[in-house]
């Protein structure tokens, strides 16, 4: 049996990189939830140092030689897939100089902290200088990666979040959706107008009771509190690492439904992380989630497909009534279903319904692509954002807090991420459809608060495969076909068009 010397050396390097990435994720969680404002400068330095250490490991002089040698060694399918992912990580890392890596890390931390003040103040000008510096550095990284990967600037960034994805393909998908959605939004609103208008349960809803309800439903979904926790942040997210998953939400005492759906969304991310390959593959690239399309499919499947279904709300309605002492028809399952699936042209992406959600993503995708490619100036972002909303949704945000300041992504350095949300929603519809076909107990289980049938199917067909397959191959193996927009459209038609 061959020793696979080069491959084993690579595994040792990537194990260290994985541990450093876990440290960075927990530091970011702390920065987003508990860190005092005065710690921002020191935290930026800490994160820059750790990212620099990771970059140094990935770009050490021997890496290219080891990758070439490992390619000639006899590897099994998982090892071969792991080597493929190692190669991709190395190409991304080697393209960017160490000083740019450090500068980016500091700029990301600094800009995010300024955004946290600018967002509640609805003051884009407050964060503009920090964002301008960050975008300048992001463009430098995109230029370096573009040359190394042989793709355009935006695709070089997109590849970080969704391996091998290309904006030309996304343009076709989004053009198809843009042709479908405006007419369907009108249709859905007409159908909705013929139904009883949903009654809104009246608050206030104490935050401690909202939290308790969220914890109860997270438990039903399968969240492992020995290896995770729920906290509060400006923008909901899932972080940490598979043995210690951190999710967050934000609460509104006048609207418990929004925070609850945020919790269920992030729980979907967490369950994917919990289900990733363990043991030897835990700290290897092949053991990671396939990409953000797959990751967003898991969160949107739970939040949208499963937990806004009449089956789930029939189970959850009594728990909601009990949590808040609710009485009357507003707390009945059919009313909560109408409330949870209400179509509305609104400003906030994370609170958008399934029908209008893709428009929110298309707007952001086109703006970030134009900014990265230099076809638009950052000073013009608020006006361009508002123009996009007027054109695609027929509404204009009243201020920047409900406009271009609402999402954390750009201010934290995540450029090229946004299209994965809608691609994830489409993937979620296809996976959920396949799961229901494969196991007749998936939907009845959800109606009982028993997610084991659904999660068992997802564990086998998505989670446990990590990055063994490409996203398209993973989806094809699980559902029998690559991504098909018709499945997503059919789901929207069944739920909103009849």
Residues designated as active site: 266
| Cβ-Cβ contacts under 8 Å for 390 (sequence gap 6 or more) | 396
Compute CA distances 487 → 422, 426, 481, whole Å.
13, 8, 11
482-295-209 Cα angle (round to 5): 135
Beta strands 244-249 and 238-241, pairing class: antiparallel
Q: Are 267 and 274 in contact (CB under 8 A)?
A: no
Classify residue 241 as exposed, middle or buried by CB count within 10 Å of its CB (0-12, 13-18, 19+): buried
Beta strands 238-241 and 228-232, pairing class: unpaired
Tally Cβ neighbours within 10 Å of residue 363. 22
Beta strands 228-232 and 244-249, pairing class: parallel
Distance from first CA to last CA of the chain, Å, rounded? 62
Tell me the two tokens of residue 196.
């009883």
Instruction: Tell me the C-alpha distance between 73 and 15, whole Å.
Output: 20
Tell me the two tokens of residue 258.
């929004």
Give which of 183, 177, 184, 176 is closest to 497, Cα–Cα: 184
Q: For residue 113, how far is the Cα from the chain centroid?
A: 20
């Amino acid at each position: 049996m061959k020793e696979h010397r080069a491959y084993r050396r690579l595994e040792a390097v990537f194990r260290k990189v994985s541990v450093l990435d876990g440290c960075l994720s927990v530091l970011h969680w702390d920065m987003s939830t508990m860190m005092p404002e005065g710690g921002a400068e020191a935290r930026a330095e800490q994160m820059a140092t750790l990212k620099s250490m990771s970059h140094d490991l990935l770009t050490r002089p021997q890496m290219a030689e080891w990758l070439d040698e490992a390619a000639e060694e006899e590897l099994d399918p998982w090892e071969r897939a792991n080597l493929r992912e190692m190669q991709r990580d190395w190409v991304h890392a080697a393209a960017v100089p160490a000083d740019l890596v450090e500068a980016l890390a500091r700029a990301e931390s600094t800009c995010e902290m300024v955004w946290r003040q600018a967002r509640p103040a609805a003051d884009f000008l407050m964060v503009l200088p920090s964002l301008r510096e960050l975008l300048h550095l992001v463009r430098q990284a995109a230029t370096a990666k573009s040359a190394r990967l042989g793709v355009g600037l935006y695709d070089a960034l997109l590849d970080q979040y969704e391996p091998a994805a290309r904006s030309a393909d996304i343009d076709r998908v989004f053009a198809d959706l843009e042709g479908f959605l405006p007419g369907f939004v009108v249709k859905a609103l007409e159908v909705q107008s013929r139904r009883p208008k949903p009654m809104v349960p009246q608050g206030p809803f104490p935050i401690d009771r909202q939290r308790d309800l969220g914890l109860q439903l997270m438990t039903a979904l399968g969240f492992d509190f020995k290896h995770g926790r729920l906290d509060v942040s400006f923008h909901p997210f899932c972080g940490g690492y598979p043995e210690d998953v951190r999710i967050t939400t934000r609460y509104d005492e006048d609207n418990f439904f929004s925070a609850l759906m945020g919790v269920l969304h992030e729980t979907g991310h967490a369950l994917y992380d919990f289900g990733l390959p363990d043991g030897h593959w835990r700290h290897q690239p092949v053991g990671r989630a396939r990409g953000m399309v797959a990751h967003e499919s898991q969160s949107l499947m739970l939040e949208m497909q499963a937990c806004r279904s009449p089956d789930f709300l029939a189970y959850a309605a009594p728990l909601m009534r009990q949590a808040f002492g609710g009485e009357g028809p507003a707390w009945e399952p059919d009313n909560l279903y109408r409330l949870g699936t209400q179509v509305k042209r609104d400003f906030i992406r994370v609170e958008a319904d399934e029908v209008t959600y893709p428009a929110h993503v298309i707007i952001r995708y086109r703006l970030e692509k134009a900014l990265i490619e230099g076809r638009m100036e950052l000073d013009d972002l608020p006006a361009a954002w508002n123009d996009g909303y007027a054109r695609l949704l027929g509404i204009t945000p009243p201020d920047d807090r409900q406009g271009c300041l609402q999402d954390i992504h750009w201010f934290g350095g995540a450029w090229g991420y946004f299209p994965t949300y809608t691609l994830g929603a489409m993937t979620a519809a296809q996976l959920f459809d396949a799961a229901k076909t494969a196991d007749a107990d998936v939907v009845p289980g959800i109606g009982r608060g028993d997610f084991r049938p659904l999660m068992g199917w997802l564990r086998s067909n998505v989670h446990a495969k990590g990055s063994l397959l490409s996203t398209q191959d993973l989806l094809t193996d699980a559902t029998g076909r690559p991504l098909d927009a018709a499945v997503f459209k059919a789901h929207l038609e069944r739920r909103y068009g009849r």
